Structure 1
Amino acid sequence: MEHVFKFEKILTIREKEKERALGEYNEAVKRFEEAAEKLYHFLKQKEDYEEMYKQKLKNGLPIQDIRHFRQFVMNLERTISHYQQLVIETREQMFLKQTKVAEANIEVKKYEKMKDKHIAAVLQAIQTMENHWMDEISIQQFVNRRN
């Protein structure tokens, strides 16, 4: 006797949604990590370049080199600012995707719990039916022994 969970298709759809949300979350994490790594790279580059500039400044530096340094640092700061904004945006997207994964997971758990309760109810009904049949068989055997 086969019993079908009436929400099986919905459960399957919710599981697919959860997998899709998890994939989107993983992609958002990847984008965040890439942006954060690039930001770190540019911050490190600026720090290294400023340290090198300080060393050269101690030894004396032509005005043209100072102008090049200032221009380079200004461009680097614009790039850093861009990546800081990008890191903020990708972090927000990552948190948004994480929330969607959590919500999808809750939905799947609801349907899984309903399925578990359904299976438990079906098994209980089968057990009750089997017990009833066993009682009937016992009564029949008892009646047949008396005759």
Structure 2
Amino acid sequence: MVDRPSEAKITPLTSRDVLPPNRQIYQLVNTYNFHIAKATEVSPIVSLLCDMLYESEFESQMWMIYNSCKQLMAVGDAYPAKYSVKLEKGEYVLRLNVRHESRSLLEKLLELPVLLQQKLPVPLLLDVYGDHHQALIGGKKLTATTVLSDAPVPVYFAGLAA
């Protein structure tokens, strides 16, 4: 749902964040704007960085979601399965903060995409067809088939209604 950041900024942190011997820590803050059309539950996923904490090349990562009134709605880190937030219809901002001592490594994340996983209110039902022609015309649906070992079976799905 959210793609590339609308704004990205790398800054050095304060003197408190200088590691011996004189290694400056930098932070990248990527800002993502998104719209929620209908109340739903979302989980932000930063696929390049997710599910890595101590084994990550980066010192730390954290995301924050704010509503249009700049109210903090949720905070999370590298484990998207642990965090979800219910959001009402409206405009939101996600800010992703990543820290590292190498500014050049952070520069590689300036266009880092973020995915917002949403829970569907009801399951999607798709029509499945055994051949391309039947899928195009909405013809005979595939109800059952025999699958042999190591033999691919193509299936075709009809498009979803809006």
* Range class of TM-score, shorter chain: under 0.3
Greater C-alpha Rg: 1
Greater RCO (CA < 8 Å, at least 6 residues apart): 1
Larger strand proportion of the pair: 2
TM-score, normalised by the number of residues in structure 1:
0.19
